[in-house]
Amino acid sequence: MANIVQFENVGLRYGTGPETLSDLSFTLRAGAFYFVTGASGAGKTSLLRLLYLAQRPSRGMIRLFGEDTVTLPRARLPILRRRIGVVFQDFRLLPHLNAYDNIALPLRVAGASESEVDESVREMLAWVGLDNRADARPATLSGGEQQRIAIARAVINRPEILVADEPTGNVDPDIADRLLHLFDKLNKLGTTVVVATHDVHLLGRVKDAQMLRMERGGLVDALSEMHRLSYGAPS
């Protein structure tokens, strides 16, 4: 599989403080599944922000889809962002919109017709098992339901990369397994999936997943550990 992401000697500094991320060099293959692990403060969220183009690095080179994002004109960044779906730990659903309209938002922003919107949203609601909750506002949904709506919104544009930052942090273990199953299904359809998590119980639940383990803003080689996690995974 071709490389869809490439980092070379990437560093990130906020303001004039010390580097939050240092000397990150790695590649991600198209169609693969990755876990980003590490303790709180290790740099997982900062790494993901670079991946979904919310932040530019202080130094180094990042290529996404073959494009150098560091030198790319800012006017072209939205085009790349539309190829990336993002799922946040705190859901970030719009409270005044129901589930249907939250999921529809990316398509409407992109100028899709209402017939296209309706077909795609209904498909997504069924895919996440919430086709009976289309009219529900976020405040009336459980944490797991809100996260599934957030996932549907993130993938409705059929992104090539899905980035999820602690997506199971606010749900119970049973719901966490269900969410991970959705990510695995999406990955099997060809989407590259990158999930940041501190939950070690998730790591062995996706066969052939790979791990990027972070420590103090850098990457630690965990290939042998990931091999054990992947092939010792529960069914």
pLDDT 10s digits, 179-203: 888 999 999 999 999 999 987 778 8
Name residue, tokens 């876990």. 35
- Residue pair 44/21 in contact (Cβ under 8 Å)? The answer is no
d(CA 61, CA 110): 29
- Residue pair 48/212 in contact (Cβ under 8 Å)? The answer is no
pLDDT over 80 at 155, yes or no = yes
DSSP letter for each residue of 46-109: HHHHHHTTSS--SEEEEEETTEETTTS-GGGHHHHHTTEEEE-TT----TTS-HHHHHHHHHHH
- Residue pair 130/149 in contact (Cβ under 8 Å)? The answer is yes
pLDDT over 80 at 8, yes or no = yes
**pLDDT tens figures, 99-128:** 999 999 999 998 999 999 999 999 999 999
pLDDT over 60 at 235, yes or no = no
Could you tell me the domains of the chain? 31-58+77-231 (3.40.50.300)
- Report which of residues 135 and 74 the model is more confident about: 135
Structure tokens given for 219: 């990457």
| pLDDT band, residue 1 (cuts 50/70/90) | low
Residue 173's H or E segment, with its range, is helix 173-188
Residue 183 C-alpha from the chain's centroid: 9
Rg (CA), the chain: 18
pLDDT over 60 at 214, yes or no = yes
Q: What are phi and psi for residue 12, nearest 5 degrees?
A: -135, 130
Q: What is the mean pLDDT of residues 9-21?
A: 92
**pLDDT tens figures, 24-75:** 999 999 999 999 998 888 999 999 999 999 999 999 999 999 999 989 898 8
**pLDDT tens figures, 215-227:** 999 998 654 344 4
d(CA 25, CA 12): 13
Residue 174 C-alpha from the chain's centroid: 20
Q: Report pTM.
A: 0.88
- Per-residue model confidence (pLDDT) at position 3: 93
